[in-house]
Amino acid sequence: MYDVVIIGAGVTGCAVARELSRYDLKICVVERAEDVCCGTSKANSAIIHAGYDAVPGSLKAKLNVEGNEMMDDLVRDLDFPFRRNGSLVVMFEGDDRAKLEELLERGIKNGVKELRIIEKEELHRMEPNLADDAVAALYAPTAGIVCPFNMTIAFAENAYANGVEFKLNTEVKDIKKQADCYEIEAVKHEAFEPEEAVAIKTKTVVNAAGAYSDLIHNMVSADKHTIKPRRGCYFLLDKSAGSFVDKTIFTLPNEMGKGILTAPTVHGNLLVGPDAADVDLRDGVNTTAWELDKVRASACRNLKNPPLKSVITSFAGIRAHEENGDFIIEECPDAEYFFDCAGIESPGLSASPAIGKMMAEMVAKKLSAAKKDNFIATRKGILNPNKLSLEERNELIRKNPAYGNIICRCEMITEGEIIDAIKRPLGARSLDGVKRRTRAGMGRCQAGFCSPRTMEIISRECGIPLYKVTKSGGSSALIPNETLNDKYVIE
C-alpha cells in the first residue's frame, strides 16, 4: 500500500511528488500517457508570470507570486532553462488606461516587486518592433520564460531519485473508498501490449489530473467539479525570429484570459499565441484554421511586420478552466484523505512550485510524516555540450564519441545527448520524449532529417525493434508492423 498516489504527471503532479519526496513516505505517480509532461504542461506559453493578473487574495495570486520567487533556487538545484526576461502588458491607442493602472494596483497588492508603468518612448526603446500606436505598458521585470518540459522532467527525475515510483501508461478508471484506504482501479496500456487491469491501494490520493481533474474528483465526491476545456493555438517561429521581441508582450486581458502574447523562448525561438476557444474534448489539441488566423491577426495588430513566414510549427494546448475561476487546492471536504490540485489553468506553470510545496505540506501533515534526512535536493539535466569549452568538449568526445555525432542538424543535438535522454531515470521511450528532453526534432525541419536516425537510436538503446518505436506511445506507431509479405519486419 502506498502512502500517497498522485494522479497526473504534469508539472503540478511532478512538483507535488518532488516536494512530498522530502518526507518519509511511499509515493507513486500514476500517469495515463507514456511519459511525464504530456498534457497541458507540454503545450502552453512557457511563461513564469510575475503575478499581477489574479485577483488579490486568490490562490492564483498568492501561489503565482510565491512560485515566481522560488524559481531561482529551483533552477540552481534542478538545472533547467529559465530566464527572467520581464514582461510588458501593452496598451494601444484607444485602450482604457484605467485597466493598466488597475493591473499595477493588483500587482502591488499581490506582492509583485519592481512593477511599474512605462511610457511610449521608453517602451519603444525597449521593444522597437511593437506597433507604432503602443502608448504605454505595465513592465514586470520579474516575469520569466522557462522550458516547461524540462521543468516538469526535472521535478519528476528528482522525485524519482528520492524514491517516488512512476506508473506510466496507466489510466485511472475509478477510485473506491475502502475502510482504511482508497483503491484505484486503473488500466495499463503499453504500446503493443494487451491492456491490463491494475489495482492500486493508497492511504491518500492527490488529484493533479489537469484537464481531467474534475472526472477524478467526481469519482469520490458528491460536490461535483466541472472543467471546461479551453483550447489555445500557438505558432512557434524559427530561431532567426527569436530576438524579434525580448520581453514577453501581452495585451490588456479580457474575460477569456490574458490575450495573445508574443514571447521569446528560452531556446531562442519566438512563440505567438494562444487564442481561447471552449471545446468539448479534453484532449482536443487539434489546431483549426480560424484559430490560427486569429493568432496571426493579433500578432499583426500588435507588432510591426511580425516574421510569420518563419513559422516552423503550430500546436494547441488545453487549459483546465474550472468554473469557479480559482485553483482548488484542498482536502476534499466530503472525501477525507483525498486532495485536489484542480482547476490549474494559467498561471499554473508559474505557481506549480508553490502548489507542490503547499500540497506536500498538507498531505504530510495529514499523514504526520517526518522529513527524510537523506533527501537529494539537486538534479543535473542532460549535458549540453554547447556550454562546454572547446577543450572540455573534445575531452568529452574522446571519452564518448557519441557526443561528436550530430543527429539533429537544425538544433545541433548529438547522439550523446539523445542516449542520455533515453538512459537516464524516467528516460524517453518515444520520438516526442526525446524531443522534449533534448530538442532533437524541434528545429526548422521538424524532424524530417533526424527522425529515422533518432528512431534507430531509441530502438538500439531500448532494445526494441524499430517498428515498435512510437511517436508518443500508445498506437502512435511510426512504421506500422505489417508490411507486404512481412518483408521488412525485423524482430
Tell me which residues touch another protein (CB under 8 A): 236, 240, 283, 285-289, 292, 311-315, 390, 393-394, 397-398, 401-402, 404-406, 409-410, 412, 444-449, 451-452, 456, 466-467, 470-480, 482-485, 487-488, 490
Other C-beta atoms lying within 10 Å of the C-beta of residue 463? 6
Nearer Cβ to another protein (407/426): 407
Nearer Cβ to another protein (17/442): 442
Active-site annotation holder among 49, 217, 225, 321: 49
What is the Cα–Cα distance from 329 to 346, expressed in whole angstroms? 15
Q: Which amino acid is at 407?
A: I
What is the Cα–Cα distance from 115 to 155, expressed in whole angstroms? 29
What is the Cα–Cα distance from 173 to 187, expressed in whole angstroms? 7
Nearer Cβ to another protein (292/354): 292
User: Is residue 321 among the annotated active site residues?
Assistant: no
Phi, psi (rounded to 5 degrees) for 71: -60, -40
Nearer Cβ to another protein (147/312): 312
Shortest Å distance, C-beta 445 to another protein: 5
Distance set, CA 46 to CA 82, 132, 148, 254, 284 (Å)? 10, 27, 6, 20, 20
**Dihedral class, residue 10 (left if φ above 0, else alpha if ψ from -120 to 50, else beta):** beta
Shortest Å distance, C-beta 289 to another protein: 5
Q: DSSP for 322-343, please give it.
A: ETTSS-EEEE-TTSTTEEEEE-
**CB-based contacts of 452: which residues, under 8 Å, 6+ apart?**
none
Shortest Å distance, C-beta 341 to another protein: 25
Shortest Å distance, C-beta 150 to another protein: 20
Nearer Cβ to another protein (218/314): 314
**CB-based contacts of 301: which residues, under 8 Å, 6+ apart?**
131
Q: Which strand (E) or helix (H) includes residue 187?
A: strand 182-188
Shortest Å distance, C-beta 310 to another protein: 9
- Buried b / exposed e over 96-125, threshold 16 CB at 10 Å, is eeeebeebbebbeebbbeebebbeeeebbe
Grid cell listed for 461: 538503446
- Residues facing residue 48 across a β-bridge: 144
Grid cell listed for 395: 575531452
Shortest Å distance, C-beta 382 to another protein: 18
Q: Which amino acid is at 387?
A: K
Q: Which residues are catalytic?
A: 49
